[in-house]
Structure 1
Amino acid sequence: MSFGQIAAFSIVLGMVALLVWDRIRYDVVALGALLAAIVCGIVPTDKAFSGFSDDIVIIVASALVVSAAVGKSGVVELMLSPFVSRMKTTNSQIAILVSMVTVLSAFMKNIGALAIFMPIAFQISKRTGKPASRLLMPLSFGSLLGGVATLVGTSPNIIVSRMREDIVGEPFRMFDFAPVGAGLAVAGVVFLMFGWRLLPRKRGAGANGDQMFSIEDYTTEARLTSGSPLVGKTVYDLETMAEADITVVGIIRERYRRYVPSGNWTLFADDILVLEGDADALEKIVKDAKLELVGMKQDQKIAVARRGETGMVEAVITQGSQMIGRSAEQLSLRERFGVNLVAVSRRGRQFSQRLRRVRFQQGDLLVLQGGKDAMPETLAALGCLPLAERNLQLGRRRHVFLPISVLAIAMILVALQFVTVTIAFFGAAVILLASRVLTPQEAYEAIDWPILILLGALIPVSDALRTTGGTDLIAGWLSGAAVLLPPVGALGLILLVAMAVTPFLNNAATVLVMAPIGAGLAQRLGLNPDPFLMAVAVGAACDFLTPIGHQCNTLVMGPGGYRFGDYWRLGLPLSLIVVVLGTFLISVTWPM
């Protein structure tokens, strides 16, 4: 191997290792990889930042803005309302909800489509008394399948289209993905209608539908007031009063010292109790034991009350929220937003620090207290999705049909090849901003900046892997195994490798690395590169085995009460369907 190839492989392997380690943000890892490639000389300095001006960056950013506008318009809830009365069984609920999220994901960012349907799933769960976990993972998987059907449905398709232009001189068009994507979507929805039974039965909502997070207990802090009947009693007495539904996991005394108490510890006035339990049990013990939730001062309670009736809402932190990586203390939740952090849940994890200093992560479940009238706008500003408070919407309904109309016109213009995808979606985003469907602030918040940074940084690194001959070298190694297989077998191998790599890399990074390898393998075997590029796109978009490979899977993990190992139960058979049916559909649609 040449020095350039050694350097390219070292940088890519180092990047993969850091992404798997998951201690450094993926956008920072990508920037580090770009810097290393510049220092090693495999990325020329005059092309080091060419990725940030690439059409991919503009398309992804514009599509995110358009998706946000469609989500805030309320048109989806309007379209769904005639079907609500028909969703009486789990099969019918999944058939309707998953079909709609799948179709919607083909035309807007899949995580945006999922965020629209999650509150609807909880409304249905509450009304029918069935666990929401039966719906959430199928919804997530449906949103991933829907994204495969069009050019703008998911980032891997956009990236593969651009790389095809580099390789064969022409990009994929808007609906080139539809024959394969639509076939996989239909098969996936049919499977999910019956396959939901593979999920663990005791996840998420309880039998009555009220206990929404029976697996994921919340952690909260409450002060033992002087008038509490538990002053002078023991920890055991408190847990007995709560009928063993609450656990005292810590006591904070002397302002900052935290102790892990045993059952015979005596409780004193002004003790801060760190309690763990579900939302209903916490609310009951606070009332019965005359505890005071830590954080909201009396004057702030009065100020919030003046703004309207106070209430509590359960919400999940979504991708792109300004809360991610920051604590309630850093955000000044009470002062800036008029809400109090009551409790936090993170997949059963216990927190060693004070709640106000816990740094939030995507997928965290929160209980927030504040004025009910202001809560919808507050949650929208924070980037949280309301769950337990069913009548809340993420912001006001604005220009209900304008966003969907602008999106439809943009897609028609692209399909008829009047304008490029870049111009169409950039123009759509500008029109929606000019029409005040979105404010500039909302548009900036809708854009997934870390993904744009990752794309801009890794495009030159991916090109370096190709220009140094690294992709040809890997393609040569793969061709050694592929020559023993028929062409369809080689195609299935690429799809399988892309699907296997995606849980460890961001799907955009997977495509940037795997697309040149797939095209190189096709050329070595004397085959058309198109089906291999399509296989990379499908494999990178369909991660059903883990909660970390795609943001949609991460988003439903906490609210659904899922554990890491729950995903493969439903995801493994679905992955096998995608590999087998996807390989067949690609080979039929794109002659090899």
Structure 2
Amino acid sequence: MSLEQGIVFSVLGITLAMFVWNRLRFDVVAMLALLAVAVAGLVPTEELFAGFGHPAVITVAAVLVISQGLVNGGVVDNIARLLGRIGHRPTLQVLTLTSVVALCSGFINNVGALALLMPVAIWMSREAGRSPSLLLMPLAFGSLLGGTMTLIGTPPNIIIASYRESGTFGLFDFAPVGVAITLAGIAFITLAGWRLTPRREENSADSKLFSVGEYVTELRIPADSPHAGSTLHSLLTTSGDEPDVVVLALIRGEQRLAAPSTYKVLREGDVLLVEADTTSLQTFLDTTGLELAHQAIDDQEAESEGASNNDGLADESRGRNGFRETNGHNDAVGAGDDKAASDPIAKGELHLVEAVIAPESSLVGQTANRLQLRENHQINIVAVARLGHRLKRRLGDIRFNAGDILLVQGFEDSLGGALAELGCLPLAERGLRLGSPRNTALASGIFLASIAVIVTGLLSAPVALVAAAVAMVLVKLLSAAEAYKAIDWSVIVLLAAMIPVGQAMESTGGAGLIAAQMLVLGENLSVASVLVMILVGTTLLSNVVNNAAAAIVVAPIALSLAGELQIASDAVLMAVAVGASCAFMTPIGHQSNALVMEPGGYQFGDYWRLGLPLTVIVTVVAVPVIMLVWT
């Protein structure tokens, strides 16, 4: 082994270890690896950042923009709307959901397809009185399977196409293998696989992770209160430390202000609609001297009817402590106020929505206090759940993790945009945002036109897809700002940084050295056995590191091994593509797996129960098809 090979192996080993360690973002790790090979002189300076202009990177970015354009046009939402008609039979629900998400994932970003259908799956589960865990894992695995069917279905396919020695793969060159494993995988999941998913029992068909009504009440600023004339922030920090109390609304006479600014000046008689557990509420009352807004009413009722509300919280007859249920939403209103029961606070309906924090959300690692969500986004974080349990710590101090479920309050007309900006995906409370027929036709037409010019060979895939992305901006299916935001820049940086690192392994002879060692093991093996070895090896790596990184690392090794064993290079590249895309056994193997972990109530060890047999089926089906088509 030469010095250069030793360096590149060390860099790759440390990089993979840091991917698994998962303490630094994977794009940061990739950039550190790129800088390491640059300092070591393994990549020429003029080629160091060539990855940012690589066709695979450009194609991935364009696909992400097109996916958002299709979402804005209502294309996928129109498909999702039809799923509500399929009934409550679990087998039929699993079959339909996995088939639809797989079909969508073949042409748009698979995480985006999952995000659109996940609320539908949760709604269907609750309507049927079953745990969402029954449907969410099959849905996530369906999105992974569907991505294998086309060139643009998943980043590993785009990367693998760039390694082909005789030109690139076409849009549907992945279809023979991808369609075969997708059909086999869906058949297994539908007939038996869904029974292997863990169950998280639900109390009722409409039960929720959060029981908000028990914690919401109204507090009044009394006439002699020292807080009259001071700010809400001053009130909340009276004891020197902000309590675990969330102010949902301020009611002043006929005016109702949702999510009031912490700099709002309070007046005598103001009513604050607050969310807190009973212990925090009592502490807050003792510290501030505020009074329960309905206390006088309770006292009058006690005198006239001989009854009183001893627990000091609004009773259920007033509509769950000042919240009323409408069409599946809780809308804040004044308790005991009949007129308020039909009027929204401020402008627009005030809704409570459950949302999951996506892995690339700007909330990850941050706290609500630092982000000033109320001031900057007009939303309140009412509660946070992690690993199936509501967190009882101070809400403002909770450092958010990917996969946390938030109970968020905000206005109907702006809540969706705020969640999208923060990188959160609404769950079952989200209504489908159907685009107009014109936008749906326009989005579909632009996308189908790009597919047509790719298939006919008029334009290469990167050029056609970039043209489609630009066209969607020009016809205002999405703004330029939305287009930039639709691009997952962490994935772009990962690809751009790791491509030169993978090339360094090839140029230094490192890939050939590993292939030579594998040749010792595989020289007496059949072609099928070698393909199984490559596919399974890539799958295992993809379950612990990013799938795009796995494809970049394994592809040069597989090509060197194919050259030594006289195996068709296209066959080993297909094996790498399938292995990189089918990470079913861990929640960290793919973003789709991570997204369903919290809403489904899954544990880390739950994934292999369905993922392991599915991996075996994919391997058994993929290898013969690869040999039939590509050898």
TM-score, normalising length: structure 1? 0.84
Aligned to 1:434: 474
1:416-474 CA-to-partner distances (Å, cap 9, x unmatched) read 11100000100000000001100122111111001100111111111000000000011
Moved more, 446-455 or 481-490: 481-490
Q: Please state if 1:523 is matched with 2:563.
A: yes
* Match of residue 407, structure 1, among 419, 440, 447: 447
User: Which of residues 539, 546, 549 is equivalent to 1:506?
Assistant: 546
- Deviation digits for residues 101-128 of structure 1 (CA, Å, limit 9, x no counterpart): 1111111110011111111112212322
Q: Which residue of 2 aligns with 1:191?
A: 188
Q: In 2, distance between residues paired with 1:154 and 1:394?
A: 25
CA distance in 1, matches of 2:282, 2:348: 35
Report the structure number with the largest CA radius of gyration. Answer: 2
- What is the match of residue 209 of structure 1? 205
Q: Structure 1 residues 335-344 or 460-469, which shifts more? A: 335-344
Deviations 1:510-565 (A, max 9, x none): 01100001111111111111110110000000000011110000011111111111
Distance of aligned partners of 1:220 and 1:32 in 2 relative to their CA distance in 1, 3 Å threshold: farther
CA distance in 2 between counterparts of 1:568 and 1:305 reads 47
SS in 2 for 1:400: helix
Alpha carbons of 1:200 and 1:583: their partners in 2 closer, same or farther (altered >3 Å)? closer
Q: CA deviation at 1:77?
A: 3.0
Query: Counterparts of 1:6 and 1:381 in 2: how far apart (Å)?
Result: 44
Report the alpha carbon displacement of residue 130 of structure 1 after superposing the two structures with TM: 2.1
State the Cα distance separating 1:97 from its structure 2 match: 1.4
**2:54 equivalent to 1:54:** yes
* Residue 9 (structure 1) aligned with residue 9 (structure 2): yes
The 3-state SS of whatever aligns with 1:315 is strand
SS of the residue 2:519 aligns to: helix
Letter in 1 for 2:377: F
Distance 1:340 1:116 in 2: 23
Q: Which amino acid aligns with 1:378?
A: A
Structure 2 residue matching 1:307: 3-state secondary structure: coil
Write the distance in 2 (CA, Å) between the matches of 1:154 and 1:569: 24
Q: Partners of 1:264 and 1:554 in 2: how far apart?
A: 34
Number of the residue aligned with 1:178? 175
Q: 1:349 to 1:14 in 2, by over 3 A?
A: farther
Equivalents in 2 of 1:450, 1:100: separation in Å?
Answer: 27
Query: 1:248-267 CA distances to partner (integer Å, 9 max, x unpaired)?
Result: xxxx99544999xxx99996
Where structure 2 has 5 or more consecutive residues not aligned to the other structure, the ranges are: 221-236, 245-277, 288-310, 324-331, 334-339
SS in 2 for 1:88: coil
Verify the 8 A CA contact 1:503 1:548 in the aligned structure 2: yes
Query: Contact 1:220/1:355 (CA < 8 Å) preserved in 2?
Result: no
User: What secondary structure, in the 3-state scheme, does the structure 2 residue paired with 1:437 have?
Assistant: coil
Does the 8 Å contact 1:226/1:269 carry over to 2?
no
Q: Which deviates the most, 14-23 or 358-367?
A: 358-367
What is the SS of the residue equivalent to 1:401?
helix
Contact 1:385 1:394 in 2 (8 A): no
Q: Is 79-88 or 493-502 further displaced after alignment? A: 79-88
Check whether the contact 1:31–1:454 (CA below 8 A) recurs between aligned residues: yes
Tell me the alpha carbon deviations over residues 128-166 of structure 1, each in whole angstroms, 9 at most, x when there is no partner.
2222211111111001000001000000000000011xx
Counterpart of 2:71, as a letter, is: G
Pairing 1:57-68 to 2, within 5 Å after superposition = 57-68=57-68
Instruction: Say which of 359, 362, 378 aligns to 1:322.
Output: 362
Contact conserved, 1:376 with 1:394, CA < 8 A, in 2? no
The reply on whether 1:585 has 2:585 as its aligned counterpart is no
- What is the match of residue 146 of structure 2? 146
Distance 1:414 1:200 in 2: 39
Question: 3-state DSSP class of the match of 1:374?
Answer: helix
Q: Which residue of 2 aligns with 1:377?
A: 417
Equivalent in the alignment of 1:391: 431
Determine the structure 2 residue equivalent to 1:230: none
Aligned to 1:85: 85
Structure 2 residue 534 is the aligned partner of structure 1 residue 494: yes
Alignment partners' CA distance in 1, 2:449 and 2:148? 20
SS in structure 2 at match of 1:341: strand
Partner of 1:122: 122
Q: Is the 8 A contact 1:399 1:437 kept in 2?
A: yes
Q: CA 1:411–1:187 in 2, change beyond 3 Å: closer, same or farther?
A: same
Deviation at 1:40, TM superposition (A): 0.8
1:64-79 equivalent positions in 2, closer than 5 A: 64-79=64-79
**Equivalent residue, structure 1, for 2:273:** none
Distance in 1 of aligned mates of 2:358 and 2:617: 29
What amino acid sits opposite 1:162 in the alignment?
S
Match of 1:245 in 2: none
Q: Report the AA paired with residue 195 of structure 1.
A: A
1:271 positional shift: 7.0
For 1:188, what is the secondary structure of its paired residue? helix
Q: Report if aligned partners of 2:383, 2:390 keep a CA contact under 8 Å in 1.
A: no
Tell whether the 8 Å contact from 1:131 to 1:207 is kept in structure 2 after alignment.
no
* 1:319–1:63 CA distance, 2 compared to 1 (3 A): farther
Question: Which letter maps to 1:66?
Answer: I
Letter of the 1:19 partner, please give it.
Answer: F
Q: What amino acid is the match of 1:169?
A: S
Q: Counterpart of 1:102 in structure 2: which amino acid?
A: A
1:475 aligned to 2:515? yes
Q: Deviations over 1:236-257 (max 9, x none)?
A: xxxxxxxxxxxxxxxx995449
Q: Secondary structure at the match of 1:342?
A: strand
Aligned-pair CA distance for 1:372? 2.6
**In structure 1, how many angstroms separate the alpha carbons of the residues matched to 2:386 and 2:516?**
45
**1:248 alignment partner in structure 2:** none
Aligned to 1:336: 376
Structure 1 residue 408: deviation in Å? 1.2
Three-state SS of the structure 1 residue aligned to 2:407 is strand
Secondary structure, counterpart of 1:558 in structure 2: helix
Quick check: 373-382 or 263-272, which moved more? 263-272
Give 1:252-401 correspondences, 5 Å limit: 254-256=239-241, 268-270=283-285, 305-348=345-388, 354-391=394-431, 393=433, 399-401=439-441
Alpha-carbon separation, structure 2, partners of 1:481 and 1:386: 49
Q: How many residues align?
A: 541
Identity %: 40
RMSD, aligned α-carbons:
3.3
Determine if the alignment matches structure 1 residue 110 to structure 2 residue 118.
Answer: no
Say which of 559, 562, 583 aligns to 2:599. 559
How big is the shift at 1:378? 2.7
- Provide closer, same or farther for how the CA distance between residues 287 and 154 of structure 1 changes in structure 2, counting only shifts above 3 A: farther
The 1:308/1:225 distance shift into structure 2, 3 A limit, reads closer
SS of the residue corresponding to residue 43 of structure 1 reads coil
In structure 1, give the amino acid aligned to 2:207: Q
Output the CA distance in 1 between the equivalents of 2:281 and 2:312.
Answer: 18
**Aligned equivalents of 1:159 and 1:209: distance in 2?**
44
**Counterpart residue identity of residue 90, structure 1:** P
Native 8 Å contact 2:213 2:321 kept in 1: no
CA displacement at 1:177 relative to structure 2? 0.4
Change (3 A) 1:200 1:137: closer
Q: 1:144 to 1:539 in 2, by over 3 A?
A: same
Please say if residues 152 and 174 of structure 1, whose CA atoms lie closer than 8 Å, have aligned partners that are also in contact.
yes
Q: Which amino acid aligns with 1:551?
A: Q
**Partners of 1:557 and 1:19 in 2: CA distance:** 19
- 1:391 to 1:82, Cα distance in 2 relative to 1, 3 A: closer
Deviation at 1:169, TM superposition (A): 3.1
Q: Is the 8 A contact 2:75 2:435 kept in 1?
A: no
User: Are residues 1:538 and 2:578 paired?
Assistant: yes
Give the partner amino acid of 1:416. Answer: T
- Asked whether the equivalents of residues 380 and 394 of structure 1 are also in contact (C-alpha less than 8 Å), the reply is no
Q: Is the 8 A contact 1:347 1:561 kept in 2?
A: yes
